[in-house]
Structure 1
Amino acid sequence: MVTFIEKGFLYGFILGLSLGFFIVPYKEVFPMGEGVTETTYLNLVDFIIPLIRVGVITAVIGGLVGFFFYRKKIRAYNNK
């Protein structure tokens, strides 16, 4: 049982981090007027904290999915 949950948690965390690189913004763009924009890049800490948050959320979801797959496997085994 624990291996299903651990694998789901680990795969969810890796998937969340990789998706977080595309979702979490790393810069802010402000229009200044007349076609001029100002771009400021976030500090590393301001980028990593939301990235880890996305990774942990998807890891918990992955752990839940692993738990439900385990329950489904046990039910199929007991019905034989």
Structure 2
Amino acid sequence: MLRFIEKGFLYGLILGGTLGFFVIPYKEVQSVGDAVTETTYLKLIDFIIHLIRFSVVIAVLGAVIGFFLYRKESLE
């Protein structure tokens, strides 16, 4: 059982980390006036903290899915 949960957590962590690069915004673009935009970038540490948080949430979901897959397999 523990192996299913560990694998689900690990795969979820890897998937969450790679998916986080595409989902988490690293800049904010605001329109200031007539055709003038202002771009503000996140600090690297702020981006990394958001990325880690997103990865851990996906990893926990992967562990839950691994647990339910183990229960389904053990009932058969």
State the TM-score, normalizing by the size of structure 1: 0.91
Corresponding residue pairs, total: 76
The CA distance in 1 between the partners of 2:29 and 2:46, in whole Å, is: 16
| Aligned-pair identity (%) | 63
Larger gyration radius, structure 1 or structure 2 = 1
Structure 2 CA distance, aligned partners of 1:30 and 1:45?
Answer: 22
Deviations 1:50-78 (A, max 9, x none): 111110000000000000000111101xx
> Whole-Å Cα distance in 1 between the matches of residues 14 and 43 of structure 2?
22
User: In the TM superposition, what are the counterparts of 1:1-80 in structure 2 within 5 Å?
Assistant: 1-76=1-76
Q: State the Cα deviation string for residues 18-75 of structure 1 (Å, max 9, x = none).
A: 1111111101111111001011211101101111111000000000000000011110
Q: Which runs of 5 or more residues in structure 2 are unaligned?
A: none
Where does the alignment leave 5 or more consecutive residues of structure 1 unmatched?
Answer: none
Q: CA RMSD in A?
A: 0.7
Q: Under a length normalisation based on structure 2, what TM-score does the superposition of the two structures give?
A: 0.96
